[in-house]
């Protein structure tokens, strides 16, 4: 269809299937043209994106505050910083990433030369979540642009101000035939998943991730799934208690706990449990001030909407009904989507909070005497997106890392692996599929194409007719390589 004759517009509460199909069809020829784009072409786009991020930082602050009262410092550190760092890294490394990688010939293929080239996957779909709406939309987009793709970006409907910002931001940088933002909720997402994208990058829950993967399978599209799960932490008696508490309190309660790699529950050695709880109390006072004044503290954001707020209240009330104690925190009594930092002890194994991903400022604290206990409990659950261990006993740290599985881990810290340009970020099984960030993100949006060139190989000796000489040569080759 002639897109010039009928302009593509996507600004509506729900984007209809016909518009999405027209947008997808318009991006196909652009995707073919982008296959021959140079590193300089792509770097110029990444530089414009990075520069516009700085120009629009006040608008980003305003949108994040309007959606969940996110403090400005957190917007800078968790929404803007990761994107500009991702862009900066790609700008610096893209020429080397795009350069074909030569591979030495095997003994069997002497006389040939070989290389691996990266080529764009084509028309890509990015479905981003609400908890870090700018970061988790534009971070994958940087990788997709670096790899030379076209993109349709579907942000979450739960953060409408951030979605409106992304619409304006992308429209200022790209024609819709190259990158476009579409709005809507479940109907729009389903209509997008019905289209034959070359690659789908989804960030969200494991339940929705299964649906995305099933939809992608209909078109044999490749997928990157960044999901969630219950990310555990272990605090051993050998740990620096104050440092561990400060790290975990920040990791758990930043963004009001609405972080896919936030510590979901903590196993603490029984010998230091009381000291650890006291250290968490002190760390919370330092971060957010007196507990009776946190609601007025602009450094502490809110739950994204009433639905999630009510879900968290129900998790807390269920845990209390089953005997949980609250050494820090109270049952919320207001309707302003404020939920104070809450520590729970004596949590029943059958409580809902131990079964569901919390995604809020509620932190169950469990105890152990033998490190085999938390290891067994972690292995009994689906594999988490992150696992954190706090200890100065290196043998114990190695035991935890070698006997568990997780998408990523930190030792004596929480969440910082997300910011490391040279580390892959992603889950495993229930917590995700594929990797992102830096070179790994570039590869996620690329196909690694093998290219072999024949110069003077002996391949002809393996062809029929299989006379005595040919059969003897093949038998010799088999013995030689065995």
Contact 157, 164 (CB under 8 A): no
Give the separation between CA 329 and CA 124, rounded to whole angstroms.
Answer: 44
- Per-position b or e across 136-159, b if 16+ CB within 10 A of its CB: bbbbbbbbbbbbbbbbbbbbbbbb
CA distance to 110, 163, 315, per residue, from 319 (Å): 67, 35, 6
Token pair of 24 as six digits = 């997808």
Q: Tell me which residue of 260, 204, 222 sits closest to 434, measured CA to CA.
A: 222
Taking alpha carbons only, the member of 431, 395, 387 closest to residue 412 is 387
336 counts as catalytic: no
Residues β-bridged to residue 452? 114
Q: How many residues does the chain have?
A: 482
Alpha-carbon distance values, 92 to 68, 139, 201, 255, 444 (Å): 34, 16, 24, 30, 18
Marked catalytic residue, from 79, 86, 177, 226? 226
Tokens of 17: 């299937």
Q: How far is 187 from 207, CA to CA, in rounded Å?
A: 17
**C-alpha R_g of the chain:** 26
In the residue annotation, 226 being an active-site residue is answered as: yes
Distance of CA 410 to the CA centre of its chain: 16
Rounded-to-integer distance, Cα 141 and Cα 32, Å? 18
Among residues 124, 162, 260, 280, the one annotated as catalytic is 260
49, 169 Cβ separation under 8 angstroms: no
Catalytic residues: 226, 260
């Amino acid at each position: 269809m002639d897109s010039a004759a009928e302009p593509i517009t996507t600004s509506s509460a729900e984007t209809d299937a016909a518009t999405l199909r027209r947008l997808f069809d318009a991006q196909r020829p652009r995707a073919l043209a982008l296959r021959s784009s140079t590193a300089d072409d792509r770097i110029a786009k990444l530089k414009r994106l990075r520069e516009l991020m700085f120009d629009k930082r006040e608008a980003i602050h305003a949108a994040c505050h309007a959606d969940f009262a996110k403090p400005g410092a957190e917007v800078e550190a968790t929404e803007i910083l990761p994107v500009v760092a991702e862009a900066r890294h790609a700008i610096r490394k893209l020429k080397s990433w795009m350069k074909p990688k030569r591979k030495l010939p095997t003994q069997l293929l002497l006389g040939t030369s070989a290389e691996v080239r990266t080529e764009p996957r084509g028309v890509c779909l990015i479905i981003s979540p609400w908890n870090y709406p700018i970061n988790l939309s534009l971070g994958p987009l940087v990788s997709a642009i670096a790899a030379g793709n076209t993109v349709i970006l579907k942000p979450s409907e739960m953060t409408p101000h951030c979605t409106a910002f992304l619409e304006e931001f992308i429209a200022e940088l790209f024609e819709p035939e190259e990158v476009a933002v579409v709005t809507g909720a479940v109907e729009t997402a389903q209509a997008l998943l019905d289209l034959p994208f070359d690659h789908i990058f989804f960030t969200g829950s494991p339940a929705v991730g299964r649906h995305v993967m099933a939809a992608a399978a209909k078109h044999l599209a490749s997928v990157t799934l960044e999901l969630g799960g219950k990310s555990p932490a272990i605090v051993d008696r050998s740990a620096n208690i104050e440092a561990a508490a400060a790290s975990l309190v920040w990791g758990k309660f930043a963004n009001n706990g609405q972080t896919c790699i936030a510590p979901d529950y903590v196993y603490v050695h029984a010998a230091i449990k009381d000291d650890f709880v006291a250290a968490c109390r002190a760390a919370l006072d330092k971060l957010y001030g007196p507990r009776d004044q946190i609601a007025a503290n602009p450094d502490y954001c809110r739950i994204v909407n009433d639905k999630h707020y009510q879900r968290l209240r129900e998790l807390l009330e269920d845990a209390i009904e089953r005997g949980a104690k609250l050494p820090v925190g109270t049952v919320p009594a207001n309707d302003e989507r404020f939920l104070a930092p809450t520590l729970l002890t004596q949590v029943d194994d059958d409580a809902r909070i131990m079964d569901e991903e919390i995604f809020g400022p509620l932190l169950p604290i469990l105890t152990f005497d033998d490190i085999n206990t938390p290891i067994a409990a972690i292995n009994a659950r689906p594999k988490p997106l992150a696992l954190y261990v706090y200890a100065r006993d290196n043998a114990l740290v190695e035991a935890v890392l070698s006997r568990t599985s997780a998408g990523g881990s930190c030792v004596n810290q929480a969440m910082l692996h997300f910011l490391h340009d040279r580390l892959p970020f992603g889950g495993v099984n229930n917590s995700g599929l594929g990797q992102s960030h830096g070179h790994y993100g570039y590869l996620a949006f690329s196909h690694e194409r093998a290219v072999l060139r024949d110069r003077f190989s002996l391949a002809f000796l393996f062809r029929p007719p299989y006379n005595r000489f040919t059969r003897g040569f093949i038998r010799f080759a088999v013995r030689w390589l065995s």
